Amino acid sequence: MEQALRNYAQNVDNVMLYIIGISFLLLLVITIAMVYFVIRYNRKKNPVASQIEGNKILEIIWIVVPVALVLTMFFYSESVYKVARNVPKGAMNVNVEAKMWQWKFTYENGKVTDTLFLPVGKPVKFNIVSADVNHSFYIPAFRIKEDAIPGRENYMVIEPKDVGAFDIACAEYCGLNHSLMYTKVFVVPENEFFAWYNGEVDNTYLQKFVLAHSGGYKDYITGNYALLFAKGCVQCHSLDGSKNYGPSFTELSRGYAKIRSNGKLETIPIDRDYIARSIISPGEHVVVGYEKAKMPLLTNRIRDEELTQIVDLLLTNFVKKSNEN
C-alpha cells in the first residue's frame, strides 16, 4: 500500500498506457476496415450491393466485448485511484489555501510559506480550502489535483518519490490572473526538511539544495525580483514600464505619484512610507488612471520581514535608480 502511493504517478501513467493502447488498436481496426471497404467495395469493383440487414452474433460480440474491455479499464483505474484517496497513518498535514491568485501553505507547526517544501518519501495530506472563488490544486508531476472550493475543505494525498522541484498550477478557472497562479514544490531529504521545518535553515537553502541535487530545475521566477513574483505583484505591476492593471514599478522612478485619496487629487512624494502603505492598504491611495482594477488585500499574506524586503527591493531597484542618473 505504501509503495503504491509512492509510485502513484507511475501507476497513473500505466493506466493511461493501458487505455490508450486498447483505444489505439480499436481505432486502427475501425480505420483499416473503413478504408479497406471503401476501396474493396467501390462501385466500379462491386456494382451491386448486398443488402445485409445485420447479424445478431456480430452485434452481441461488439456489445459484450467493449463492455468487458471498459470494465477492465474501470476496475484497473479504480484500484490505482483508491490509493490516492486513502490517508495513510502518520501522514503529514499541510493546509493549502488558494486565493486569487496565489497559494498559502500552513504546516502543522504553524509555519507559513507560499512555496511548498516537502520531505521525500513521506506521505502528505493536503487540506485544501479557498478564500474566494473556486481553484484547483494541481501538481502535474504527481498526476493529481483536487479543487479548492470556498466553504468546504477537500483533501488530497501524495508521497513524493524523488528530490526535485515541481510546478504547482491552478487548474480551475479563477479570473484575471488564473494562468499566473503558479508556484513550486521543493522535495528534499527528510534531514534537510526538518532542519528547515525547525527554523535552522531558510527557504533559499532548500532551493539551492534541490538545485544541486536534482540535476537542476527550470525556474521562471529567478533573480532579484523573486519576491515580487512569489507574492504575485508582477501579475499587475510590470517591471519594464509596460501597461498593465496596476502602474508599472518603473513609474516609481518619477519620485512622486499622482494619487486619488477619498476622491481628492493629490501629488505625494514616493518614499519608504508611501510604498509600504500602498502594499498594506491599497485602497487608501490609488494612482490616477488605475482606479478601475482594485488591488486585492494582502491580509495575512505577507509577513513583516517580507514587507520590509519588498520595500527595500523597490527602493533600491526602482526609486533610487533614477535618482542616481
Asked if residues 255 and 269 have their Cβ atoms less than 8 Å apart, the reply is: yes
- Tell me the Ramachandran region of residue 232: left when phi exceeds 0, alpha when psi lies from -120 to 50, beta otherwise: left
CB of 63 to another protein, least distance (A): 6
d(CA 91, CA 82): 16
Which strand (E) or helix (H) includes residue 7? none
CB of 216 to another protein, least distance (A): 14
Cβ distance to another protein smaller for residue 220 or 324: 220
Cβ distance to another protein smaller for residue 77 or 317: 77
Instruction: Report helix, strand or coil for 25.
Output: helix
Nearest to 126 by CA among 102, 79, 160: 160
Cβ distance to another protein smaller for residue 199 or 223: 223
CB of 241 to another protein, least distance (A): 14
- Tell me the Ramachandran region of residue 198: left when phi exceeds 0, alpha when psi lies from -120 to 50, beta otherwise: alpha
DSSP code per residue over 148-184: E-TTS-EEEEE---SSEEEEEEE-S--STTGGG--EE
Residues in the chain: 325
What burial letters (b/e) apply to 68-104, b meaning 16+ CB within 10 Å? eeeeeeeeebeebeebbeeeeeebeebbbbbbbbbbb
Cβ distance to another protein smaller for residue 158 or 298: 158
User: In degrees rounded to 5, what are phi and psi of residue 171?
Assistant: -110, 0
CB of 61 to another protein, least distance (A): 9
Cβ distance to another protein smaller for residue 33 or 212: 33
Contacting residues for 219 by C-beta, under 8 A, at least 6 apart: 165, 184
CB of 102 to another protein, least distance (A): 15
Cβ distance to another protein smaller for residue 174 or 270: 174
CB of 87 to another protein, least distance (A): 12
Cβ distance to another protein smaller for residue 3 or 198: 3
Cβ distance to another protein smaller for residue 19 or 195: 19
Q: Measure the CA angle with vertex 300, ends 307 and 131; round to 5°.
A: 135
CB of 212 to another protein, least distance (A): 22
CB of 143 to another protein, least distance (A): 4
Dihedral of alpha carbons 105, 169, 131, 89, sign: negative
